[in-house]
Amino acid sequence: MAKPLDYSPFTTHYSLFAIRYSLFAIRYSPVRYSLRRGSRVQIVDSQVHIWAENTPERPWAPNMEGRAHLPEPLTAQRLVGMMDEAGVDAAILVPPSLEGDRNDLALAATRTYPGRFAVMGRIDFTKPQARAALATWREQPGMLGARLTFHRPDTRGQLTDGSADWLWGTAEKHRIPLMVHAPERLPVLGEIAQRHPGLTLIVDHMGFGRDTMDDRASAGAARVAALARHPNIFVKVSALPCFTSEPYPFRNLNEPLRRVIEAFGPRRCFWGTDLSRMLEHCSYRQGVTHFTEELDFVSPDDLDWIMGRAVRECLRWNAGK
């Protein structure tokens, strides 16, 4: 005999609560992507380095011995396996300074693993041939743009000494997006963006330097948020575990991160890891779930943009599709 249905006030109240909770969870969980769009969010890491061994046949740049983030080279093959385990669909390869201005290893990875990788390459803008190279930069299969660093003693001055002045207008003319790491010169990037409104500038790692740790992160967030008034400046909300002494899920960075996302908006913020450096602080999977599961101030729609859609649109790369 069938058991009679229980319509007691407690049961009815509990059932309504369960339904409301389930609807709330769907609304504020990344799982909603599969319910609303029929497919999960595409996750694109905005910065990963790969490199080869330092050998006589393929030497590193001068004075780079002992500068690698990991004791063994991070190869494209190894990276693909790590991406699969972490749930990362695609990644932007940024050749490290170890490699000098070589981009061949990263470009080869785009051929070996189509759709998984693209490159923001290095260019020595002080060389005479750099102007001609930049004019055809994106004609190289797999190349999306260039990455410039101005954070070392030998490169800091190049941002303001005139040697890079030609670069901004040329990149603007040829629609070459530029990732820039200049944590001590952020206002200069704002001036460049204002002079070249058609130039796409992407600030690395929320503009943080290596000393932007813990209680200094709020001031660092304020500095980069000041650049949000320039619509052609974007920001990589990347490598965050490297800027805190707290363990996962790095709660003390929530407010600085919130400030940056609110200033730029999710369509101008790109999640990333700087994986080879981040692994000292957490796993690759935790680098993903830090954003997808631990940030209660980011909506699912915003997460869709931050985790990959925004960087694909900005760099004009239809990754993983």
Residues 53 and 169 in one domain: yes
In which domain, by residue range, is 34 found? 10-38
**Segment 17-27 mean pLDDT:** 40
Q: Over 90: is that where the pLDDT of 55 sits?
A: no
pLDDT of res. 9: 47
Measured N-to-C along each axis, helices 76-86 and 284-292 cross at an angle, to the nearest 10 degrees, of: 40
- Tell me how far the alpha carbon of residue 84 is from its chain's centroid: 18
Lowest pLDDT segment from 3-7, 95-99, 276-280 = 3-7
Residue 4 domain flag: no
pTM for this predicted structure: 0.86
pLDDT top residue among 33 and 253: 253
Residue 320: inside a domain: no
Banded pLDDT at 26 (limits 50, 70, 90): very low
Question: What confidence category does residue 32 fall into, taking pLDDT thresholds of 50, 70 and 90?
Answer: very low
pLDDT, tens only, 232-283? 999 999 999 999 999 999 999 999 999 999 999 999 999 999 999 999 999 9
Domains held by the chain: number: 2
| 201: pLDDT strictly greater than 70 | yes
If you average pLDDT over every residue of the chain, what do you get?
A: 87
3-state secondary structure of 227: helix
Distances (CA, A) of 42 to 6, 12, 32, 101, 104: 44, 39, 13, 30, 26
Buried b (16+ CB within 10 A) or exposed e, 76-113: beebbebbeebebbbbbbbbbbbbeebbebbbebbeeb
- Are 106 and 158 within one domain? yes
Q: Verify that 80 and 57 share a domain, yes or no.
A: yes
* Mean per-residue pLDDT, 44-51: 96
Does residue 285 fall inside a structural domain? Answer: yes
